[in-house]
Each structure stands twice: as structure tokens, then as C-alpha cells.
Chains A and B, each alone.
Chain A
Amino acid sequence: MKQVLINYILHLADNAMILAQQNSAWCGHGPILEQDIAITNISLDILGQARNFYQYAAEIINGLKSSSTGGGLEGASEDSLAFFRDNREFKNCLLVEQENGDWGKTILRQFIFSNYQYLLYEKLQHSKDEQLAAIATKALKEVAYHLRWSSEWVIRLGDGTDESHQRMLNAVNELWQYVDELFMNADYETELLKENISVDVSSLKNKWLEKTESVFNEATLQIPQNVFAKIGGKQGIHTEKLGYILAEMQFMQRAYPGLVW
């Protein structure tokens, strides 16, 4: 039971961690200063979510260890969970590990994800697990800003110049295959549904589509139909991109374990 809960928390944490890491690569490279600041601010918010989830997971892991082994093992921490787990242990969805690409692709990835995360946290607020509910309630207000910001940019670029419109079409083509995975329950989600701890992500899809449709209409974009869905991230089967992300993100702690600023 506890292991299932840990898996679920790590899934929530990894989603946030990997997207934060990806967005942060825009620091100093944004198209204009204000938007450079915006995307890195969003990155910081999401990193905060990841920290809260990792801290909570570490607390549970350490609780388990001390009861079964007398606490002899080195404790888990937010850092050890972010920096010392391998590719296959990460449970983020495939969407967040996709390359930043151009500004349009980063914007669309953020919109797809924030739209999903807003609906997810809205329900997670009522989780039977009090800590998950508290983290979700807190983060929801921030995600509302992420969603508003990314919606506006999808419209601005989609309904912008020929060039920006074409780039948004490319982004839709590249990213849509990773949308369906967001709405497929992994085993840990299904298991925790019985306890009213997790959110049934399949129930979020209609509302997600509604919102996407209204934004896409204004952006003169269309939702692609019958796209073959790529899945597996939530079970630890990732695209090759995650390896590169982890190599960069984990290098310092792997090379110099315990290094602090």
C-alpha cells in the first residue's frame, strides 16, 4: 500500500521536476526579456511543487525504513530522489520530457500540461491524503496563472503571422501523440482511487478538450484526430530524451555526491 502511494507521489513529482528542468533551459534565451522571466518564473513554481512532493515521498520512505530496518540505511531526501534515481525509475509522462524546440513548441507543451494540471489539482484538492490535498490547493492558484499565460500565447502565435502559425502547426503535430497518456490511469492511480487518494485522470479529458477547443478556435488551430498515442512514461518506459535530461540534471550530484552550493 505504502509503495503504491510512493509511486503516485513520485509520478506527480517527476512530472513537475522534468518540466521545470526543461523550461529552465530558456533562462537567458527567451524571445524577449519579459517572456524569458515568465517561463523561468513558471519553472520556479513547478520546481516548488516537485520539492513539496519529493519531500513528502522522502518522509514516507524514511518512515518505512526506520520501521523495517531500524533506520540503519541512509535517509531519502528531496535531493536523493531527484538526483539519484535512474531513467527507469522516473514516472513522468512522456510529454514533459520532449525537447523544448522553438518557442511555439515550448508554449504548446506548457498549455497542454497546465490545462491538464489545473484540472488534476482541482480534484486532488479533495484527496483523502491531506498532504497531497494541501500541495494541490496551494499549487492550483499558480497553475491558473500558467494556464492563462500559455493560453494567451497559443492564441497569439496560432493567430499571428504565417510563420508563427506554421510553427504552431508543427508543434501540434509533434506533441499530440503524447496527449492521450495524460488521461490513462497507471496501476498506482487505479489502486489509490479505491482509497479516494488519487484522481481518475480519464475523467479529466472532456473538460480538457473543451478548454483546448476554445483556445484553439481563437488561435485558428485544429485538434488533430486519430493520432497514434505513445505511452509508457508513467510506468518508467521513456523516450530517449529523458536520458539526456537526467545526464545534465544529475551530473554534479553523481560526480560529487552531496555537493552543496
Chain B
Amino acid sequence: MHLAPETPIDLAENSKISAKNVEVYYGDTRAIKGVSLEIPERQVTALIGPSGCGKSTFLRSINRMNDVIEGCRVTGEIILDGQNILSPDVDVVYLRARVGMVFQRPNPFPKSIYDNVAYGPRIHKLTSSKSELDDIVEHSLKQAGLFDEVCDRLDEQGTGLSGGQQQRLCIARAVAVQPEVILMDEPCSALDPIATARIEELIDEMRQNYTIVMVTHSMQQAARVSQRTGFFHLGDLVEQGETTQIFTKPQDERTASYITGRIG
């Protein structure tokens, strides 16, 4: 597993997502204050910060998940490959196929393992034949490192798997629609250390093909799997930088206090 990027990356050239002065309001409350963040392509970006700091709210803005929350308003720009995804004419269904999401608690559909993975490709009509769909399901399960464990029981219920397997099933479901970006909101917080290690290994492999943005409460996890880290505090993005830099030599006193477990 890689601990750090081999060479510092050129952010301007490798930016997959560029957030510019993003603000999120719940009614009159401003939950995110003028956040500008560069998310490089095919890297893992970790978002850390205390509960209620806005990191999950920000994450959900990247595939417009906040749209479904009443009274929630997002301003600023989030540029994905040159297009502002906050613009009203963006096809949100298509956007969510490009920007997949994995949640804190594994949430497989109460369907078979096969149907869980096939769900997205079916509704997005990505395949024209059963054999093509079979290939996508197998490929996605392999990418999620789950295929070998479930290949002889694809028709069993996804909810019957262990927690770690369910989470990998959710990752397979996310990758089945061939997204470019995968958002992960504390993907390991409900898992034991072994299942966590498997997911972390998986994330490290997946960054060859996907841009990954992950919210985590575990500083060690952020240090282990990400190449870049952003620290949120009270709705501000206090600091962003290379993960090694953030965890060995943070620039801002608030970051330093948070990651070393001090009273700020």
C-alpha cells in the first residue's frame, strides 16, 4: 500500500474537480463557508474534521445529493471536467452515474447480489444483452474484490453478506455504472479492522481508475489511504495539502490541534 504520492502532483494540470467558493445553506444557516478545493484526478482525497464541520455536506454537494434536502441551497461553482455541476441545467441522474457514492453503513438493496450490481447498468440502459450485463456484474464484483467470495451464489440476498462484504457489494454497485469519481462517506466506520483493511487496500487499487473523495473520522485511515487531505472546521476549509505534509507538519494551528488530539 502506498503511504504517499511518489511525486508531488501538479494540481492545476491534474484537477478533476475544482470547487470554487462553495457555500451551502440550510435555510438561513451557512454550513459551508466559501470553500475552494482542488481534487486531483486518480488520487484519493481525504476530508477530515470534527463532527458538524461540513465535510459530509461538502462531499454530498459533489453529486448534488443536497438537492433532496428541503431548504438546502448551494452557491459557488463545482467544476467537474470543465462543467459546473451546480448549474440548474445539469442532468442530475447522469451526474450521479459519473459521480458514484458509497455510504457509512453498507446499504445493499433487498435483492440478490447480482441484481444489486446490475441495478445501475439496467436503469441507465448501459447494456443490450444479458451476457453483456453478466460481464459488467462480474467485472464490477472483481473490481470491488468480492467476486471470488460470491461467484457461486450470485442469486443470494445481498443483505445476507457480512458487513465488509456488503460494503464491497456497495462499491461494486457504484463502479458498475462506470463512474469517474467515487465519493465515500466514512466507508469503514461500521466495519471491523480486517474488513477495513480490505476496503483500504481496495481504495488504493481503485485510484488507478477513479478519482476518490473520502470523508473519514480516522486520521490514521486518512494518512494510510489518501494522497491529499483537506481539514474542515466550523464550515471552513482550514487547510488542504499533501497528506504527508498535513500529518507531519500542518501549517494551521487548528489543524495541528485537531490531528494531535489537543484542546484547540
Partners in one complex: no
Q: Which residues of A contact B (CB under 8 A)?
A: none
Interface set of B (CB-CB < 8 Å, partner A): none
